Amino acid sequence: MKVLIVGLRGVGVETAKNLILAGPNTVTLYDPTTVSIEDLSANFYLNEEHVGKINRSQASCTKLQELNSYVKVNVAEELPDFSQFSVVCVTENFEGFGKLIEYNQRCR
């Protein structure tokens, strides 16, 4: 199973953690938002060193990978083609409601 998680605030990072512990083949993370101080209260894998320097997916990847060495955890710098994934989990809307409808259609 290959999983894409879009958005790594509280719900996204918790979803990623639980999925990685369950053991799919691959979990790909996508969140282009640069870490802000407010993010530290929602994503427990972020710290002050990340603020203003890297995006949420880059900052979370190493700690998430440590949860299960049998799962490949990747970071996508651009939103990948959904057709390569078994499951797509969108927890944050980066591009507006119209894009969410498009994502829904692409996943079906």
Please state, in angstroms and rounded to a whole number, the distance separating the CA atoms of residues 12 and 30: 10
CB 32 within 8 A of CB 7: no
Domain span at residue 69 reads 2-107
Q: Where are the alpha helices (DSSP H) in 34-79?
A: 56-66
Q: How much helix, strand and coil, in percent to the nearest 5, is found in the chain?
A: 45, 20, 40
Per-residue pLDDT tens for 14-56? 999 999 999 999 999 999 999 999 999 999 999 999 999 999 9
CATH number where 19 lies: 3.50.50.80
Q: Is the pLDDT of residue 3 over 90?
A: yes
Confidence (pLDDT) at 28 = 98
Rounded CA-CA distance 67/29 in Å is: 15
Mean residue pLDDT of the chain comes to 95
Number of domains in the chain: 1
